[in-house]
Structure 1
Amino acid sequence: MATRADWWLEPGSEHCRFCEHHFHYEAGYFCVHCDQPVCPVCVRFEAVEDRVVCPDCGEAAP
């Protein structure tokens, strides 16, 4: 009997433009600067200000 994978392990409907993978909306993040959806793999955390940013905004930050 095959068991079904947990929902967060299956591809979702959201598309990450940084890594081209699909993820579930519930598991994603949104950049505080540009409001782009970012997958849990590509998201970057600004520890100093405790914010979530996308890879583009993370590299542009001083």
Structure 2
Amino acid sequence: MNERFESGPGRFNDVESTTALQYPTKVPTGADLAGKLDQLQTLVIVGIVVGGLALIGAVAGLVMRRR
């Protein structure tokens, strides 16, 4: 087969994005995923810091209680 097909009026449509066809949810783009990863990384760091402070507070409380 050696045929050429062109899009245009009265023919078929041009190639369009599949974003509107994705069901039930749209697939996130790379930039969206990178942003969410940055947020998650920040949240993990904050959680580690808060957990460390809580551990230090608990140890300090036990040391003070024994005195």
- Band of TM-score, shorter chain: under 0.3
Higher RCO (CA 8 Å, separation ≥ 6 residues): 1
* Structure 1 or 2: more helix by fraction: 2
TM-score when scaled to structure 1? 0.25
